[in-house]
């Protein structure tokens, strides 16, 4: 069963991305030295009625991930 089956379809949200050193716990989980700088992404999604759907926090190794933003009218 998915969120869509319950009427939740993502419509809008916010995502914040910044550089942050790994905590002791995250470094141990990721097998990296404490303090290694990773990209931290925090995304919050809402449906068309403005209801909260999900919040996702990701730690991304900048050696393997990059960010692409496109602006303007796609026509």
Please report, for the domain that includes residue 30, its CATH number: 3.40.1410.10
Question: Residues 6 or more apart from 27 whose CB is under 8 A from it?
Answer: 33, 34, 35, 36
Query: Which residues form the domain of 38?
Result: 3-60
Tally of domains in the chain: 1
pLDDT in tens, 3-45: 888 888 889 999 999 999 999 999 999 999 999 999 999 999 9
Decide if 65 is inside a domain: no
Residue 2 has pLDDT above 90, yes or no: no
What integer pLDDT is reported at residue 16 of this predicted model?
94
- Which pLDDT band, with edges at 50, 70 and 90, does 52 fall under? very high
pTM of the shown model:
0.74
What integer pLDDT is reported at residue 35 of this predicted model?
95
Q: Which of 39, 50, 48, 49 is nearest to 16 (CA)?
A: 39
H-type helices in 1-75, by residue range?
24-30
């Amino acid at each position: 069963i998915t969120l869509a089956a319950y009427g939740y379809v993502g419509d809008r949200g916010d995502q914040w991305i910044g550089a942050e050193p790994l905590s002791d716990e995250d470094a141990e989980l990721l097998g990296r030295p404490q303090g290694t700088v990773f990209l931290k992404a925090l995304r919050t999604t809402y449906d068309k009625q403005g209801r909260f759907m999900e919040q996702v926090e990701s730690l991304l190794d900048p050696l393997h991930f990059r960010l692409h933003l496109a602006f303007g009218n796609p026509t």
